[in-house]
Each structure stands twice: as C-alpha cells, then as structure tokens.
Structure 1
Amino acid sequence: MTGTLQLWIIIIGLGLGSFLIRFLFLGFVGDRPLPPWLLRHLRYTAVAILPALVAPLVVWPAGNDGVPHPSYMIAAAAAFLLGYFTKNVALAVAGGALSLYVLLTVF
C-alpha cells in the first residue's frame, strides 16, 4: 500500500488530468460547431464502450479464475446476434441478460 501523501497526490493528479481532458472539448470548443467528420466519429463512441466493458468479463471472468464459462459465451453470442439482427441495444442487453440468467440456472 502506498503512503497517505502519495495516495492524495495520485488522486489530485488524476482529478486534474480528468478535468483537463474534459476542458479541452468544453472550454476550447465552446459554442462553435464541431466539424462533420468529428461528429461522425463521436457517434461510434457508445457502440465501442459497451463491448469494451463486457468482453473481458466474458472471455476472462475473474469469478472463474480466468476460465471461460459456457454460459457467458452463449449469452454474449445471443446478445450479439440480437443486437446485430434487430439493431436494438435495449433488446440485445435484455436478451443477453435473460439468456445468461436461464443458462446459469440450467448449468
């Protein structure tokens, strides 16, 4: 464990870094419109975040000591297929959660 002073320096440094990153967009851009190419790329941010958060939990679950569980894989595939064919994020998340619940009950 790090010392108290070092911990507070890290917390304050991370807070300032987070503030500066946000200020770059909000403070400098302000009321000016963003270019169309940047807006087009920003649309895909939400689509990239959810798989980046879920994929490590499916492929390398900490609860199983890193051994993939078939229920997680099947539920992830079901959520992916639902999202791909229906183009509905809420339905894909709900279908994946429901299939995971059913599969964990069965296995």
Structure 2
Amino acid sequence: MNAHVSDPTVWLVIVVLGIGTFLIRWSFLGALGSRDLPSWVMRMLRYTPVAVLPALVAPLVVWPAATGGQLDPARMAAAGVTVAVGLWSRSMIGAILAGAITLFAMLYMS
C-alpha cells in the first residue's frame, strides 16, 4: 500500500503532537511546579526511577536483539553483577558501571 500524505497534513500532525506534548509536560511543571505536593505524593514519586529503569532494561537483558532474542550468558551475568553491586553499595552509578564492565569483559572473552 503506497499512501501519499500531503505536506500540510504532515506539518499539522507535527504541530498538534508538539502542542499536546508541551501541554502534558506543562501540566506537571508549570501548573504544579510552584505548589507544594502532599507528602504521600512526594513519597510515591521517589519510587519512579526505581520502577522505570528496570522496566527499560529488563527486555534488553531477557530478549536481547543482538542475540536474536535468545538468552545470553554475558548479559545475564552483567545483570546479576549490577543487581549485586547495587544491593551491596546502594550506588546506582556504581552498579551501572560494574554491570557495563562485566558485560564488556564477558563479550570480549567470548
């Protein structure tokens, strides 16, 4: 199917999506940025990075595109080291660095 969309339609979609994205972000930053949020909201927001980072990384570890979706010992070892160092040191940067070093070392050795 070869559908042609006119240039004005493409630009209209880009502008509308840009405005929509701006309004979504402004609703949190502009409208609520100068107000104090309740303590229970602030407590829940602290867990956002802890929930988002594993959700982004887990598919790359379990079904890596580099191996055609097959489990890879190098990536599993790197994930294990990352979790272990994170639990031991309580440092996200340290855990990420340890996992990256493990991944590169395991890929280099194989």
Query: Which of 75, 90, 96 is matched with 1:93 structurally?
Result: 96
Larger radius of gyration: 2
- Output the CA distance in 2 between the equivalents of 1:72 and 1:53: 14
- Output the CA distance in 2 between the equivalents of 1:4 and 1:79: 49
Provide the TM-score with structure 2 as the length reference.
0.83
Query: Which of 72, 77, 93 is matched with 2:75 structurally?
Result: 72
1:21 corresponds to 2:18: no
RMSD: 2.0
Query: Which of 32, 36, 60 is matched with 2:35 structurally?
Result: 32
Q: How many pairs does the alignment contain?
A: 107
Q: 1:58: how far off?
A: 0.8
Q: 1:56: how far off?
A: 1.1
- Output the CA distance in 2 between the equivalents of 1:37 and 1:102: 43
Q: Which amino acid is 1:28 matched to? A: A
Identity of aligned residues (%): 45
Q: Which amino acid is 2:34 matched to? A: D
Give the match for residue 107 of structure 2.
Answer: 104
- Output the CA distance in 1 between the equivalents of 2:6 and 2:95: 44
Provide the TM-score with structure 1 as the length reference.
0.85
Q: 1:64: how far off?
A: 1.5
- Structure 1 residue ranges without an equivalent (≥5): none
